[in-house]
Amino acid sequence: MDAQHLEKLAEESSWEVAESFITEYAALLPRRVDRIVRTVTVRDRDIAMDFLLSLKTTSWLAGALRMNQLCRELELALALADVAAVATIVQDIEQHLPSLQEALASRPRHVLTVLSPAALRR
């Protein structure tokens, strides 16, 4: 997790918006990953791309840079119709999910503290 991305969001909007965004991101993350896995499994590339682009963008804003990178890799593999790469990257995403969830669960102590209104005024 890279708190600088959330700091920028907080600076451009507000601390409350950043806090709400990261809370929603964490809550929706498992479902978003599951949707990508399911659509890739049934080879519905267009829908998978829609879900993937959403997760890629929100991961970037949340500072979840590894998830963002995996989404970019999957986007390329889907565009190239590289079935083997798609399967490997989907597996990487599934394996990364628990560590990202753990980082998000501990974020109030290390991320949102950085984003507090007092810290943003420094």
Q: What is the CATH number of the domain that holds 84?
A: 1.20.120.160
Confidence at residue 115, expressed as pLDDT on a 0 to 100 scale: 47
pLDDT of residue 108: 53
As for how many domains the chain has, the answer is 1
Where the chain has pLDDT below 50, the residues are 109-110, 113, 115, 120-122
For residue 47, the enclosing domain spans 3-116
Give a three-class secondary structure readout of the chain: CCHHHHHHHHHHCCHHHHHHHHHHHHHHHHHHHHHHHHHHHCCCHHHHHHHHHHHHHHHHHHCCHHHHHHHHHHHHHHHCCCHHHHHHHHHHHHHHHHHHHHHHHCHHHHCCCCCCHHHHHC
Answer yes or no: is 122 within a domain: no
Q: What pLDDT is stored for residue 107 in this prediction?
A: 66
